[in-house]
Structure formats: structure tokens, C-alpha cells
Amino acid sequence: MARKYDLISELYNRTCKTVVSNPQSWQAFLQSACRNYKLRYDEQLLVFAQRPDATAVLEIERWNRSFGRWVNRGARGIAVFADENRERQRLTHYFDISDTHESRYSRPVPLWNMRQEYEADVIETLESTFGEIDNKSNLAEAVICAAKNAAEDNLPDYIRDLLYSVNDSFLEGLDEDSITSLYRVVVTNSVAYMMMSRLGIDTESYFEDDDFRDVTNFNTQETLNALGFATSDIAEMGLSEIAKTVMALDRQNRIIAGQNRNEYNGVENKTERSFSDERTDLHDGGRLQPAEPEIAGAAGSEWTIVNNLDTKRRKELRRK
């Protein structure tokens, strides 16, 4: 296990350097992290290094116990550090949902996807979570405004750690105000990018590589941790609230759909009962009892209308 821990530590260190080597690498990391936004930043980084396409990861025990899903034979776990401070030198292994299969005891996994008709509700959720939103013209603009509000409210908790960690980084030598301003811009853009990616919004319409050019200044593990943990923590706040809203709307839609089905079935049953009642007016031969003269033949024939004729007269007509 010690050897495996050392290998994962080396992988983590290499990945730290990779994700801040250029704006594109940082954006690729954010696209991966948004799908597992409830993980710690250091876990997200290792998931990105090993399975960047993972959509929902859990330990094998939780897949079994919580969702009744079994891990596929031969599936490889995603190794992450068991604790944030790495004091115990232990690893935890996650498995993506694609590495599992259902059992007879399976329960639905609460995955969610944004739908266009939820946009107004999600914007309302963002505003109630992060404060007044200046631009509500569309969901993307609302997310950007919410990210700015969130950064303003929460970054003071992280700036102190960053200022203590600038030694040997490209941030060293900058004054405190410059570091704070640069940090705020990068975190705000990263939070917005991560949330928009999870919501399925086309980020290229709102961000350019230049918006993330300053990530290269966070070129030590300490400064990158300050950037990564702030981005991950703040984005999780927003995405967790959005998830509650979306899943509540999904449940509401399922209830309405169920009611509509019940109403439809009720109408169908009523129609069937009505048809059954009408059948009581039928003769044994299966024909309705006539209330008007019966049309028995084609127009213009001598059988055009026959009504209230006695049997003898009918026989005479047939012989003609």
C-alpha cells in the first residue's frame, strides 16, 4: 500500500503542474470536476488524472449499500487520498457509475440534468443563495453574476491562506492588493465556468482562454490549493442548491404525469362502462332495436322501406 500511495502522490504532483500549465488544461479540469462537484478539490484532481470522463463516483461499499449496485468484475478503482491533509497516508478507491451494474435490489441514482423549462426556477435559486442578480436575461448571465456575488462573500476566508503561500510562486513579489484582485478574477471565472459546464451551457460563448491566463501564476502546490479549494467549495454551494431545485421539479413533473395518466385511465374506464351500458339495449341477434323505419336495401329497389308489414305480405314480396 505504501508503494501505491507513493505512486498516487507522484501522480497528484504531476497533475498539479499540468492543470495550471495553460488555460486550456485548467478548463479541462473544471469540466471534469463539475460532474463530481461534491468531492474535495484534491479528490477531483485525482479523478481528473485517472478518469476525466467519470460522471458519478462512490466507494464500492456505498454503491452496494445505498443503491444496490455491484461493481463490474475487473473494474479499476480511482485512487484518492483518504484525508485532505494526507496525514494517515491512506488511499480511498472510487468507482464510476459506468463501472457498476444493477441488481435486483437496485435503487435509482439521483443524477440530474438541467432542462430549459427550469431556467426561471434555477435563476431564482441562484438569487436566493448568492444575493441579488443584476443580469437575469438568461441562465448563463445569471450564473456569472451569482459567481461574482459568491466570490465577494466567500473569498476572504481563502485569501489569508493564499497570502501565506505565495513564496516561490509567480505571485511572489506582487503586492497584497494585486494578488487579491487577480485571485478574485480567476476564482470568479472558474466558479462560473464550472457551474455553467454542469448546467450544459456552452462556455465558449462566454469565456475565452484569456479569461484564465492568470492560472499559470498559481504554480506551486500551495497556491494551487488556494485556488482549487476555493473554486471547488464555492461551486459546490451553487450546484448543490441547483440540484435540489432541479430534482424537486423533476419529482413534481412525475407526479403531474402520473395524475394525467390516472385521469386518462379514468376516462377510458368511464367510456368502457358507457359502452357496456349501451349493450343492454341490444337484441340477442346483436342489432339495436329500431326506433325509426329500417333502411333494409339500396335506394331505388323495391326493398327501399319496409315497415310494420305482416309476415304474409313479406313472403309475397319475396316471391315477386
pLDDT in tens, 235-286: 999 999 999 999 999 999 988 877 666 655 555 555 555 545 544 443 343 3
pLDDT in tens, 108-135: 999 999 999 999 999 999 999 999 999 9
Residues in CB range of 103: below 8 A, 6 or more apart? 68, 69, 70
* Three state DSSP letters for 122-175: HHHHHHHHHCCCCCCCCHHHHHHHHHHHHHHHHCHHHHHHHHCCCCCCCCCCCC
Q: What is the pLDDT of residue 293?
A: 35
Q: What is the pLDDT of residue 139?
A: 98
For residue 141, list its beta bridge partners: none
Q: Which three cell numbers stand for residue 24?
A: 486550456
Q: Which one-letter DSSP state was computed for residue 290? A: P
For residue 98, list its beta bridge partners: none
* Helix/strand/coil for 91: strand
Mean pLDDT of the chain: 86
Instruction: Provide the whole-model pTM.
Output: 0.80
Distance CA 102, CA 284 (A): 56
What is the gyration radius of the CA atoms in the chain, in angstroms?
34
Q: What is the pLDDT of residue 85?
A: 81
pLDDT bin (cut points 50, 70, 90) of residue 88 is confident
Q: What is the pLDDT of residue 311?
A: 41
